[in-house]
Amino acid sequence: MRIRQVAAICGVAAALLSAQDLRTVNFSGVINDYSPANISGGPWEIRGQWSLEVQRSGTANFTADLTMMTSDYGITGATQVDPNNPATRSPHTHHIVVSNAAVSYDTSVCPTNSPATTGPGVVVSGPATTSGNGSPAAFESKGSSMLQICVIGGSEVDFSNLTLVYTGPATGHFGTQPIHGVVSKVSAR
């Protein structure tokens, strides 16, 4: 999709959000990032799809379907991944769900991006349920983790970037840094 087409679609969504119009706005895209090396088994490659539905009620629902495995750094790093044995990369999946979460438009609480994101944005925060290979993730037994979801953009594309920031027990696996993704689709209904 050309930047002008994306900008036009995002412009419509921005107008809906900033005007507090009573329409549902859907965002979706992909996540491609790494966890820090100092967490257990890390650094992890984090890849997957995500979607965010900002509802008429002023709440939002978020889902992400991720695959994770030890990154190439692990081949020479502390984890000692065998490049000839993919199983040593500890591949696994996570499904993340945040339901009926609070919505804000104050993006000053979001992580900074470089180059800077300056456009309108949406901030969603709430308790996250995270699976590990289809069962509760090991850290779920340690208590609830919160997830902050920021969707923001720049001067050419209003909604271009996604960041996820965990707090709570999930940080032992994902880290405390922002997990980055891209917005590939915005639609309103």
Q: Which residues lie below 8 Å from residue 39, measured CB to CB, with a gap of 6+?
A: 171, 172, 173, 174, 175
pTM for this prediction: 0.84
Q: Give the model's confidence band at 74: pLDDT under 50 very low, under 70 low, under 90 confident, else very high.
A: low
Measuring CA to CA, which residue among 19, 60, 68 is closest to residue 42? 68
Q: Give the model's confidence band at 87: pLDDT under 50 very low, under 70 low, under 90 confident, else very high.
A: confident
- Mean pLDDT value of segment 73-81: 54
Q: Pick the residue with more confidence: 25 or 38?
A: 25
- Mean pLDDT value of segment 128-154: 96
pLDDT over 60 (residue 25): yes
- Averaged pLDDT of the chain: 86
pLDDT over 60 (residue 90): yes
What is the model's pLDDT at position 37? Answer: 84
Give the C-alpha separation, 164 to 144, whole Å: 16
pLDDT over 90 (residue 59): yes
Give the C-alpha separation, 143 to 41, whole Å: 21
pLDDT over 60 (residue 23): yes
What is the model's pLDDT at position 72? Answer: 66
Give the C-alpha separation, 30 to 73, whole Å: 22
Q: Give the model's confidence band at 81: pLDDT under 50 very low, under 70 low, under 90 confident, else very high.
A: low
- Mean pLDDT value of segment 82-101: 86
Q: What is the pLDDT of residues 29-44, one digit of tens each?
A: 999 999 988 888 778 8
